[in-house]
Amino acid sequence: MPSSTEPYAAVYFSATAIPGDVWDALHADPRAANVILPIAQKQLTRQTDPSKRGQCWIAVFSFGKVDFVLSVTNGDNGQYPVFIFTPHRPHLRTREFLHPRLLRLAEALHASMPVKRIYSVFAPDEIAYPFVACWTHLTGVQALRDPYYHAWSSYCSRQTFVSPKRQDTVVPGVIFQLRPAVESDLSGVAELCYLFAKESEPFVLTRSAAVSEARKLIQQQQVWVHTIRHENDPACTEHVACIAAFTRNSESVATITKVYTPPDWRRQGCALRLVRRVTKHLLATKQYVALFVGRENDAAHVYHRVGFVGLANDAEEYPSVESWIELGLDPAKVQLGHW
């Protein structure tokens, strides 16, 4: 790879075209790269026609190193936002460093993809804002005033994982199961996928799309359920009270991407029990379990109790726990996707 001191961008229209040094940068920090690495690896197994240019990856280099990796990819439910990863730690991301590199990134994206395809950008705060400013300068498409999503990135390891206390697991008069979802759970999982999306504007799902999503999650063994039935229920009705899905997974990192408890089952410890059980399951084969949790989301205390770090006013102790933001672009000028 050339060792130019001036930043330059390279575009790859298939995962198989991504060079080794870019893969190395992603693998070197799989927690931070969890929005790009697992998706790119999945695309390696799929046949993609580069001439259609339905997706791409862009890397920016300088001084012989990878500075940024951007992805525009498609998921099972639709088109993903623009994701941006950098291997550089926050203290190195000065304006002087960021601006020329993000401009190269935006220029390459503009030359490679239709403007209407770029409906939002998800990246660490100090990267998302200047990148979108560059994009607006190039295209005239403005960002919305309110972000779609503002979250902390967090993770749990075997060292930080917190085992359950007895009061977390014993509920008088209630019989519950924590297990991988099976085909007979389809309607219950689909309903919670639908309700989760309903509370995640603008990324809503129709009921048929929710059924399709639930079926894929179950078939791919990427969703667990917390079921409940009451001992005094003569019909022995089993309810799906909570789901936890993990859909972006690489060799060493699993990522919890969806946790949802419907209103009728909240404040009964369902999410805590299920997330803890799923995290323990994932840590049996992974070094870390990652997730994003909304900065104003009360669920942060649940994840903290499981062992996810940086969520109890202690983010400064964990430099890799960062604030990420999804900036939406003018919906009159773009075509909304789903993730």
Domains of the chain: 8-150 (3.40.630), 161-308 (3.40.630.30)
pLDDT at 126: 96
CA distance 110 to 122: 17
Angle between helical axes of 20-28 and 37-44 (0-180°, round to 10): 140
pTM, whole model, 2 decimals?
Answer: 0.93
pLDDT at 105: 98
CA distance 122 to 35: 9
Q: How many CA atoms lie within 13 A of 223 on its CB side?
A: 27
* Residue 272 near residue 168, CB atoms below 8 Å: yes
pLDDT at 5: 78
pLDDT at 315: 73
Strand partners, 243: 225, 260
pLDDT at 170: 59
Beta strands in the chain (DSSP E): 8-12, 56-62, 65-75, 78-85, 120-124, 149-157, 174-180, 223-230, 239-249, 253-260, 288-294, 323-328
* Residue 181 near residue 218, CB atoms below 8 Å: yes
The dihedral built from the CA positions of residue 158, 163, 168 and 173, taken in this order, carries a sign that is positive
User: Which residues in the chain come in under a pLDDT of 70?
Assistant: 1-4, 47-53, 166-171
| Residue in 239, 272, 245, 241 with CA at minimum distance from that of residue 257 | 245
CA distance 254 to 257: 9
CA distance 214 to 187: 8
CA distance 250 to 41: 8
Span 258-311, pLDDT tens digits: 999 999 999 889 999 999 999 999 999 999 999 999 998 989 999 999 999 999
Span 74-92, pLDDT tens digits: 988 889 999 999 999 988 8
CA distance 104 to 106: 6
* Residue 69 near residue 22, CB atoms below 8 Å: yes
pLDDT at 175: 87
> Parallel, antiparallel, or unpaired for β 78-85 and 120-124?
parallel
